[in-house]
Structure 1
Amino acid sequence: MGVFVFLPLVLPLTALPIARLAEQHLHPRVTTRLLTLLAAVLGLCSTLCLALLMVVGTAQLPGNPLPDGWSDPEVRAAVPYAEVAGAAAIPLLAAALTVCGAALRRHRRIRARTHRALDGLPAGADPAVLPDDDPYAYAVPGTPARPGRPARPGRIAVSRGMLRSLDGDERHALFAHERAHLNCRHHRYLLAVRLAGCVNPLLLPLRSAVTFATERWADEEAARVVGDRRLTARAVGKAALIARGAPYPELAQFAAPEPGPVPRRVAALLGPVPPARHWPPALTP
């Protein structure tokens, strides 16, 4: 095996070129699913690689509780610097699992806090209009029922300032965009790729790529519902100019204040509808 045993740890370096090609040639829906699957597989491989290095490199060290038989001599001989790699894998694996746990707790805490904030608004109001003059809008995923707590449906939260800044047609595009985030369960894709980035920092670029792909997916769904791509593009651009950022930035937003991806989203909406086929032709340049 030699140095190739470490390949799963550096293989995520290939993820960014794949993300760029997917963005250029695939429908945003397919891009989101492909990149999320890629991030999950590479993150799992990185975790298993660290776990195996830990077992192989430390099983025969004095005082290690692992059975000696877990570290085959032939396997140890094939792993360069097996003891050093095994000792280094222990804190790396512990750090990865700790960061993943912290990310999950933060995700649940933000969702619970957001639902509690919306509970003070009229029941059943969707979208829920927040009495805030700062313009923002975001989608709040639902939560399943648990003992002592009923299920909470997904809701759209929009500030009073955002509604004042958009006309009726632009509001329609806004609500269609946020509804697409909920219906397509974009929060699950975003959480999966976030956890993958916690396991291996080389996968962090996929987080921004999947975030952009989910926004493009929601843009296309909104344009389909509204029936006017130029109107949807205008709403996206206008919201980006006035947006201040949602109180909970990890939730899917209609238009974040950062300007980078917004021109690309507007340009895509002003262009033709992306092909619905899953994969481009084999000879796509």
Structure 2
Amino acid sequence: MTLVLVLVVLALAVPWGAAPVARRLAAVLPPREACWTLTAAALLLAGGTIAVLIGLFHVPFLASLEQVPIRRVLDVWPAAVPVAVAAGSVMLAQVVLALRRWFRHRSVLERAWRLAARGTGDGDLLVLPGDDVDAFALPGHRGRTGRIMVTVGMLRALGPGEREVLLAHERAHLSGRHHLFSAVVDLSTAVHPALSSLRASLQFHLERWADEAAATAVGDRRLAAAAIARAALVGSRRREAGGGYPLLSVTSGPVPRRVEALLLPEPVGPRGGTHRAGALGLAATVAVSAPAALALAYGLHEYVEYAAVAVRGG
């Protein structure tokens, strides 16, 4: 069973190494590709972790299916039952955490849609009354299409061109279905703690994706940078006091880095050996998790089969 333990440690340790590699690779990719990279890495690493836990949890059940006495399993692997219990406990905790986050997402949407009932407007834009300074993309919910929520205070704080940037930014969030990327990574963090570091990185790159879409829509990168800086400046005081609205917004993420990026030329695909090495490193570290999980499942199955043959032969 030494090989089994090695595979377990390897599969569960891989996310600690793969998450930093994913973040570093995302930093040199254009925003859209960075978001896909982070989301895919989180999903694959979470899947590998779950596969390992399921394999460990099923050892006693595989033995019972093969009519192998559990004491025979314990003779060869004394830790089989405690490990299965531990794996089951971890999976139960993961389910609880994932459900809590899922219901939190649904609760946020429901509260936001109740708030939307106070808004007025046509098409995809709803204007909320009041002096609060805020704007965010509201994903579709229960058959309702997504909307852009903007307060009167935010509209007053921005000039005509800056308002165009704001609306283009939020429309990019809706058209790109960025809330799904965010939800996938957030739910993945319930599976493995190492994946938590991907969440903030993803939020930054989602905002950068929308920034670039807004800059393209208005045809002026400096105007886009000025609009984002002004929106963050006028909205920061309320956000610090009340925590801000937990939806994708033009004022989210590290705004100075976003503004700095908009003052540079439009990002293009990475070039050079360093970038290729980063991509290969991420692919290798992510790829280790799934084969290790499959090898573990196969090894456990073969171990139980061997024990069953030994029992019948004896």
**What is the alpha-carbon distance in structure 1 between the residues aligned to residue 157 and residue 218 of structure 2?**
19
Higher percent of residues as helix? 2
Which range moved further: 87-96 or 187-196?
Answer: 87-96
Matched residue, 2:271: 280
The unaligned stretches of length 5 or more in structure 1 are: 145-150
**What is the alpha-carbon distance in structure 2 between the residues aligned to residue 139 and residue 109 of structure 1?**
16
Matched residue, 2:107: 109
1:42 maps onto 2:21 in alignment: no
Indicate how the Cα distance of structure 1 residues 69 and 109 shifts in structure 2: closer, same or farther if over 3 A, else same. Answer: farther
Write the letter of the residue equivalent to 1:46. Answer: T
Question: How many angstroms does 1:73 deviate by?
Answer: 10
CA deviations 1:223-263 (Å, max 9, x no partner) are: 0001111111111111122213388733101103x7xx111
1:176 maps onto 2:171 in alignment: no
- The 5-angstrom pairing of residues 112-127 of structure 1 reads 112-122=110-120, 124=122, 126-127=124-125
Question: How many angstroms does 1:69 deviate by?
Answer: 5.5
More RCO (CA 8 Å, sep 6+): 2
Question: How many angstroms does 1:118 deviate by?
Answer: 1.1
**What is the alpha-carbon distance in structure 1 between the residues aligned to residue 273 and residue 218 of structure 2?**
33
**What is the alpha-carbon distance in structure 1 between the residues aligned to residue 218 and residue 136 of structure 2?**
19
**What is the alpha-carbon distance in structure 1 between the residues aligned to residue 144 and residue 172 of structure 2?**
18
Indicate how the Cα distance of structure 1 residues 77 and 41 shifts in structure 2: closer, same or farther if over 3 A, else same. Answer: farther
Larger radius of gyration: 2
Question: How many angstroms does 1:76 deviate by?
Answer: 8.1
Indicate how the Cα distance of structure 1 residues 267 and 104 shifts in structure 2: closer, same or farther if over 3 A, else same. Answer: same
TM-score (norm. length: structure 2): 0.77
Calculate the aligned-residue CA RMSD, in Å: 2.8
TM-score (norm. length: structure 1): 0.84
Superposition misfits of 4+ residues, deviation over 6 angstroms: 70-80
Write the letter of the residue equivalent to 2:271. Answer: P
Q: Secondary structure at the match of 1:153?
A: coil
Q: How many residues align?
A: 269
User: How many percent identity over aligned positions?
Assistant: 38
Indicate how the Cα distance of structure 1 residues 194 and 74 shifts in structure 2: closer, same or farther if over 3 A, else same. Answer: farther
**What is the alpha-carbon distance in structure 2 between the residues aligned to residue 251 and residue 32 of structure 1?**
17
Q: Residue 160 of structure 1: which of 125, 131, 152 is its match?
A: 152
- The 5-angstrom pairing of residues 123-138 of structure 1 reads 124=122, 126-138=124-136
The unaligned stretches of length 5 or more in structure 2 are: 278-314
1:241 maps onto 2:241 in alignment: no
